Amino acid sequence: MFSLQNVQRPTVYACLFTLQKCLRSICSKRGQFDYDLIVIGGGSGGLSCAKEGAAYGKKVAVLDYVSPSIQGTKWGLGGTCVNVGCIPKKLMHQAAQLGESIQISDKYGWNIGDNVTHSWETLVQNVQNHVKSLNWGHRVQLHEKQVKYFNAKGSFQDKHTIKLTDNKEKETLITGENIVIAVGGRPRYPENISGAMDYAISSDDIFSLSKPPGKTLVVGASYVALECAGFLTGLGFDTTVMVRSVYLRGFDKQMGNLVAENMRENGTRFISSSVPTLIEKRLDNGLLRVEWKSLENGNVNEDNFETVFFAIGREPEIRYLQLKNAGVEVDIQSKKIIVDEFERTCVDNIYALGDVIHNRPELTPVAIMAGKLLAKRLFDGSNKLMDYNKIPTTVFTPLEYSTVGLSEDDAVEKYGEDKIEIFHAFYKPLEYTVGEINANQCYIKVICCSKNGKILGIHFLGPHAGEVMQGFAVALSCGLTYDQLCSSVGIHPTSAEEIVKLNITKRSGKDPHVTGC
Ligand code: FAD
Ligand code: NA7
């Protein structure tokens, strides 16, 4: 006798799936969709867009699925920032900063004894507890805002139909009038370096590493690499950064050099102009033997490390999307999705935002703002576009670096050296004096247009740089001029006041070291 129980489960799934496909196809041809908006990716940009869409009474679904890292690390809802980016990174940076404060606290009269230790396990546990609370918070918010959440991988069947595949490989189809792709990116691994995939970790793993990383090699010299090397050094680990070319690619060159100089003076080692060529596990002691090649003279060197950490950039996470089925185009080189100023792809009902789009800053507030504005345009009649210019950001290295607007190099290229004026100062934060902290790299640079005094870029290297820069970034986006800046009254005694006190130009060649109050 025929019984459903006698039929293999995958066969039942396959039949249901085909039936579903036919029904969905008929409905979507008639313009009837399951959802007004389907968002693929529950990270910074996707969640913001989904929640904003639901606020206008629209039927919204968001799908989020995390493929484990190459070393098997997994995490929950919320995307890169919450799980393996900004949040755990800033907390680990804070742990390192506290260590520095402990070291100088005797100068402020504290007697904490000599036996200060740090527990990596406790730090990881507490950071991960916070991350889990954020994962839960996101789920609750989606529920409260009546956004349907699917813990499933999304791929395009056609421009309105998304196939959901859950972790048991069960497939379901849903249709949406509008689709937003917000799938972010994942760390890049090097090609052709034997042992890299087997033994090296990435930013997907470092924040939940169950054992202390020990002696660590960080490969890469951009912001993820330097931030992580900074906190590892601060937590007491022997840390080496392998630099292929420049420090902090994409940022102001002088500031990048100062950041690295400060890290070097505080104990991080640097191997310049080199790339790794081999990683293998030693049988005798389990250490990772790394060989690298100097790009200057071709010499090959080697050393042993407990952890090798690649921070050599990120790739858009488009591998599961089947973009071809919908006709969405990507840039040939970056593999990122091409969008216009409305965040619309080449397909009229499909949009993309956040880290997955080509030629835009990879930052959480950018993704959040873009998601919100897109939902307002789709469902609230707004015509406001995301302004990708003058986006402030901070590099959370031990000495923090915050910036908004143009770098010196870009300003020179855009306006010409004789059409810009640069005001600068080396200063000493008050709290560094009694603490006897190295202030050699505390530096500020403001770049102005000579013709109208408009400020083109602000660069601040010093404590709490992000907190300092946020307000100046608002002023810059309102068209701040040098005259307005230097006629503003400072807040004393702060490091931020040094920005409004700037009066020495680079061109003058005068000593830019600030003395006195
Ligand atoms: P994500 O947040 O990456 O979210 C995308 C989500 O989609 C992920 O959960 C992913 O698993 C999921 N997904 C992918 N494919 C599919 C699919 N096919 N189906 C379903 N789900 C899918 N930015 C800052 O502003 N400040 C910082 O201090 C900062 N620090 C950082 C530190 C590190 C180490 C890193 C790596 C990044 C940092 N960033 C920082 C950048 C920031 O995290 C990203 O810009 C931001 O998370 C991008 O958001 P998003 O929505 O584009 O993508
Ligand atoms: P970035 O900003 O893309 O920088 C990558 C760094 O890695 C940079 O220093 C590169 O050196 C270096 N790199 C790249 N490929 C290699 C290889 N094969 N070998 C050695 N070194 C290499 O990446 P991040 O990970 O720091 O940040 C990515 C984004 O995540 C960033 O925009 C943030 O918003 C979050 P180069 O200067 O090219 O010589």
For the chain, percent of residues with pLDDT exceeding 70: 94
pLDDT value, residue 515: 84
For residue 184, the CA-to-ligand 1 centroid distance in Å is 5
Distance of CA 431 to the CA centre of its chain: 30
For residue 8, the CA-to-ligand 2 centroid distance in Å is 48
Phi/psi at 59 (5° precision): -85, 115
Fold for the domain defined by 399-500: Enolase-like; domain 1 (3.30.390)
For residue 366, the CA-to-ligand 1 centroid distance in Å is 11
Q: Please report which ligand is nearest the Cα atom of 247.
A: 2
Q: Is the pLDDT of residue 13 over 80?
A: no
The closest-lying atom of ligand 1 relative to the alpha carbon of residue 356 is 52
Strand duo 185-187 + 171-181: pairing:
unpaired
Q: Is the pLDDT of residue 4 over 80?
A: no
Catalytic residues: 492
Q: Is the pLDDT of residue 472 over 70?
A: yes
Q: Please report which ligand is nearest the Cα atom of 395.
A: 1
Ligand 1 binding pocket includes 34 (Cβ within 6 Å): no
pLDDT value, residue 2: 43
Nearest CA to ligand 1 atom 35: 85
Ligand 1 binding pocket includes 321 (Cβ within 6 Å): yes
pLDDT value, residue 6: 55
Q: Quick: pLDDT tens for 48-89.
A: 999 999 999 999 999 999 999 999 999 999 999 999 999 999
Q: Is the pLDDT of residue 14 over 90?
A: no
- 33-74+125-187+315-379 and 196-312: identical CATH topology: yes
The closest-lying atom of ligand 1 relative to the alpha carbon of residue 45 is 51
Q: Is the pLDDT of residue 1 over 50?
A: no
Q: Is the pLDDT of residue 19 over 60?
A: no
DSSP tag of 381:
-
Domain ranges of the chain: 1-30, 33-74+125-187+315-379, 196-312, 399-500
Q: What share of the chain is helix, strand, coil (3-state, %, to 5)?
A: 35, 25, 40
CATH architecture of 33-74+125-187+315-379: 3-Layer(bba) Sandwich (3.50)
Q: Which residues, at least 6 apart from 291, have a Cβ–Cβ distance to it below 8 Å?
A: 276, 277, 278, 279, 300, 301, 302
The closest-lying atom of ligand 2 relative to the alpha carbon of residue 247 is 9
For residue 312, the CA-to-ligand 2 centroid distance in Å is 4
- Owner of token pair 């060989």: 291
pLDDT value, residue 516: 74
DSSP tag of 296:
T
The closest-lying atom of ligand 2 relative to the alpha carbon of residue 245 is 39
The residue-averaged pLDDT of 295-322 equals 98
Q: Please report which ligand is nearest the Cα atom of 241.
A: 2
Q: Which of 38, 75, 86 to mutate to test the pocket of ligand 1 (most atoms within 8 A of CB)?
A: 86
Q: Which of 77, 81, 209 to mutate to test the pocket of ligand 1 (most atoms within 8 A of CB)?
A: 81
Q: Residue type at 152?
A: A
Nearest CA to ligand 2 atom 24: 313
For residue 274, the CA-to-ligand 2 centroid distance in Å is 14
Taking the CA atoms of 12, 16, 17 and 22 in sequence, report the sign of the dihedral they define: positive
Q: Is the pLDDT of residue 3 over 60?
A: no
The residue-averaged pLDDT of 248-255 equals 97
Ligand 1 binding pocket includes 40 (Cβ within 6 Å): yes
Q: Quick: pLDDT tens for 95-125.
A: 999 999 999 999 999 999 888 999 999 999 9
Ligand 1 binding pocket includes 371 (Cβ within 6 Å): no
For residue 93, the CA-to-ligand 1 centroid distance in Å is 19
The residue-averaged pLDDT of 393-414 equals 98
Which among 305, 330, 283 has a CA at the least distance from the CA of 239? 305
Strand duo 401-405 + 269-271: pairing:
unpaired
The closest-lying atom of ligand 1 relative to the alpha carbon of residue 153 is 19
Ligand 2 shell residues, CB under 6 Å: 190, 219-225, 244-246, 249-250, 275, 311-314, 362-363
Which among 404, 228, 370, 255 has a CA at the least distance from the CA of 312? 228
Mean pLDDT, the chain, integer? 95
Nearest CA to ligand 1 atom 38: 85
DSSP tag of 233:
H
Q: Please report which ligand is nearest the Cα atom of 151.
A: 1
DSSP tag of 330:
B
The band of 44, judged by pLDDT with boundaries at 50, 70 and 90, is: very high
Q: Provide the token pair at 400.
A: 């923090």
Burial of 221: CB neighbours in 10 Å, binned 0-12, 13-18, 19+: buried
Q: Quick: pLDDT tens for 361-386.
A: 999 999 999 999 999 999 999 999 99
Query: For 196-312, CATH number?
Result: 3.50.50.60
Instruction: List the single range of 11-20, 290-299, 313-322 with lowest mean pLDDT.
Output: 11-20
The closest-lying atom of ligand 1 relative to the alpha carbon of residue 184 is 53
Q: Quick: pLDDT tens for 172-197.
A: 999 999 999 999 999 999 989 999 99
Which among 183, 140, 182, 186 has a CA at the least distance from the CA of 370? 182
The band of 228, judged by pLDDT with boundaries at 50, 70 and 90, is: very high
Q: Quick: pLDDT tens for 313-341.
A: 999 999 999 999 999 999 999 999 999 99
Q: Quick: pLDDT tens for 497-510.
A: 999 999 999 999 99
pTM of the model: 0.94
